[in-house]
Structure 1
Amino acid sequence: MGILGASGYGGGELIRLLKAHPQVELVGFSSRKHEGKPLASAWPQLWDERAFASQEEVLEEAEVLFLALPNGLAMGIAPRALEAGKRVIDLSGDFRLPPEVYEAWYGIPHQSPGLFGEAVYGLPELHREEVRGARLVANPGCYVTAATLALAPLAAEGVLRGAFVVGLSGVSGAGREGEGTFFAEVNENLKPYKVGGTHRHIPEMERNLGRLLAQGRPVRTHGPLGEVRLSFVPHLVPMTRGILVTAEAEVAGAWDQKRLEELYRGFYAEEPFVRVLDRLPETKGTLGSNRVDLRPLLEARTGRILVFAALDNLVKGMAGQAVQNFNLMMGFPESLALPREGIWP
């Protein structure tokens, strides 16, 4: 097992989770910035005497690779790894979208368009059977995971027509070198960003929900798409980690609260990391866990359906979901080494 990009927030969380995994030998972790330096130079909370290795060393030694790299880098590394018989879990956006859609939204030419057809979209709650045994998994991120799971039951039921999604993210979601994340800029401040339909995760959300609308459940990652349009307004909030999404869904038919709750509880009844609440979720309730907390709510006065979702952006929104996909790929119990309980306060 190896990690490329281990000095980013997702890479550090991967190390923490994988070091506690009973079926994993972590043979190496790389960082261009910290190569040759001890792990504690980037992660003082982790106890490991080894140093950051070179990317080539990790590529050579590891049988399974986690690519926790900036967008645009994994598409050049994944083909080499696959040709060498290794398995790959990519935490970037490089294999989540068709190459032409990726290029339009990310502004980067795709170097490995032929691999998209093999890549499995790694949202286990929707694509568990495809992830099993896969060679290449595209691991979705925090906003998309929260918004998709918030609206998936309505899409699978065939009633979702559109949605307005508001996302609130802790600062770690911007990455360790994220622009505009200095303490003086985020402390006691709340700001929207990438509004007006410009956020690159919008097509991912629409495709996820469109698949469900067209196919129901189970759903194929490369199956037909239904038409779903949503607006997405993300906000940066002055906290370290956590995602809270509020989705206002436009749906067909008449609904009441009982029917709505029955739909959600039935849809997620067998899911080990999705909890449907009878109260509103909060980010600290999922801190440190691989869990998503959901609350569907019918606003009786207007007839609108609101769905609230909370998760830890570095666990279920990133590294924990990657380990969940790894467990499925390798035939291990899906919940192995993944926390369901959070940390409080």
Structure 2
Amino acid sequence: MVRVAILGASGYGGSELLRLLGAHPEVELVGFSSRAYAGRPLSAAWPHIDVDTPFSEVEEAVAEAELVFMALPNGISMELSPRLLEEGRRVIDLSGDFRLPPAVFERWYGMEHRSPGWYEEARYGLVELFRADLPGARLVANPGCYVTAATLALAPLVAAGLDGEIDISAMSGVSGAGRDAGGTAFAEVNENLKPYKPAGEHRHTAEIELNLARVRAQGPEPRTHGPARERPLVFTPHLVPMTRGILVTAFVTLLRQVTADGLRELFADFYENEPFVRLTAELPQTKGTYGSNTVWISQRLDERTGRVVVFAAIDNLVKGASGQAVQNMNVVYGFPETAGLQTHGIWP
């Protein structure tokens, strides 16, 4: 049993970690913290959980932990993680603090990176593409939610060298903005659909580009490393009036011709035996992934324009955050990769 603590357990990501880790056969949850709810019972933040154990301060929450999940706002993990790592603990960070090279992070996140030396220690936790990096890792950077869906949608095409111009349109439920986010009041989002941070403004753009550069360097076998060749892409996110879920629609100009059958075979070969990748001819729906750690991917060849359209759906709080973090933990410790995780969504 791995002794685990959750920092930031009163946020949406923290809530999903509580749910998933509470049912994990290899985990003992020994502490959880919240700045907003410190000293108050868990049920004060999450009334659906009938537990009166109080939220602890950080020091008490991590005192017995071997592994700490950081479900905290950007900028906090880079300050807390180095000390925890130096004390011999492992860290899985759900924020953006260790996903990008420090100089790139500072440009896209608009803040100084206060632990740049630890970036080289971090392993990027997109298991389906970079699984070989993770066993025994001390510090894991959990990918962004949009990034997860977009990268997995595009990786087979990129690895095969088929991708020319890439244009991504993505839609997310309101929980992606976090529990304390402004501008997500019911009156603002209900019966409303709006784009935000378009034209290269959203910070996940850089993370998607870096991931695809790594895939481009690896080629069709997603297990090794090589020099990354970044290529700009268009990423346009939208906020939709639902609680959770992400749907990505990616438009790809092909560099050479491919048949519809060849396209299906390409994706099937690339994701063969991946437990959390569902490839079907049916078009993805976010409700089909609700509560699961699965990404649902489907593709279409537009023979009239010579472009490929790839669709991907995930639950932004599970495969896009906490479920992926648990999947990373499973690989780090050598547990069965599916331990504590669901491959089927909840319907309706």
Question: Quick check: 1:140 aligned with 2:143?
Answer: yes
CA distance in 1, matches of 2:73, 2:160: 36
When the two chains are superposed, the root-mean-square deviation of aligned CA atoms in Å is 1.0
Matched position secondary structure for 1:116 = helix
223-232 or 178-187, larger mean C-alpha shift: 223-232
CA distance in 1, matches of 2:74, 2:161: 33
CA distance in 1, matches of 2:322, 2:120: 24
Cα offset for 1:220?
Answer: 4.9
CA distance in 1, matches of 2:255, 2:199: 25
Q: Of 149, 163, 168, which residue of structure 2 is paired with 1:160?
A: 163
296-305 or 144-153, larger mean C-alpha shift: 296-305
- Name the aligned partner's letter for residue 218 of structure 1: P
Contact 2:131–2:223 under 8 Å retained in 1: no
Percent of residue pairs identical? 61
Number of matched pairs? 344
Contact 1:285–1:344 under 8 Å retained in 2: yes
The residue number in structure 1 matching 2:290 is 287
The residue number in structure 2 matching 1:232 is 235
CA distance in 1, matches of 2:227, 2:49: 44
The residue number in structure 1 matching 2:130 is 127
Q: Which ranges in structure 1 are unaligned for 5 or more consecutive residues?
A: none
TM norm structure 2: 0.97
Q: Of 272, 275, 288, which residue of structure 1 is paired with 2:275?
A: 272
CA distance in 1, matches of 2:224, 2:265: 25
Give deviations 1:244-296, integer Å, cap 9, x for gaps. 00000122100111000000011111100001111100000111110000001
CA distance in 2, matches of 1:219, 1:120: 14
Q: Of 236, 252, 257, which residue of structure 1 is paired with 2:260?
A: 257
Q: Of 327, 333, 337, which residue of structure 1 is paired with 2:336?
A: 333
The residue number in structure 1 matching 2:347 is 344
Matched position secondary structure for 1:117 = helix
TM norm structure 1: 0.98
CA distance in 2, matches of 1:211, 1:251: 19
The residue number in structure 1 matching 2:222 is 218
CA distance in 1, matches of 2:227, 2:165: 18
Contact 2:169–2:248 under 8 Å retained in 1: yes
- Name the aligned partner's letter for residue 205 of structure 2: I
CA distance in 1, matches of 2:58, 2:230: 41
Contact 1:16–1:46 under 8 Å retained in 2: no
Cα offset for 1:161?
Answer: 2.4
Contact 2:254–2:306 under 8 Å retained in 1: no
Contact 1:161–1:229 under 8 Å retained in 2: no
Question: Quick check: 1:77 aligned with 2:80?
Answer: yes
Contact 2:92–2:142 under 8 Å retained in 1: yes
The residue number in structure 1 matching 2:91 is 88
CA distance in 1, matches of 2:188, 2:222: 44
Matched position secondary structure for 2:92 = strand
- Residue correspondence of structure 1 range 45-124 to structure 2 within 5 A: 45-124=48-127
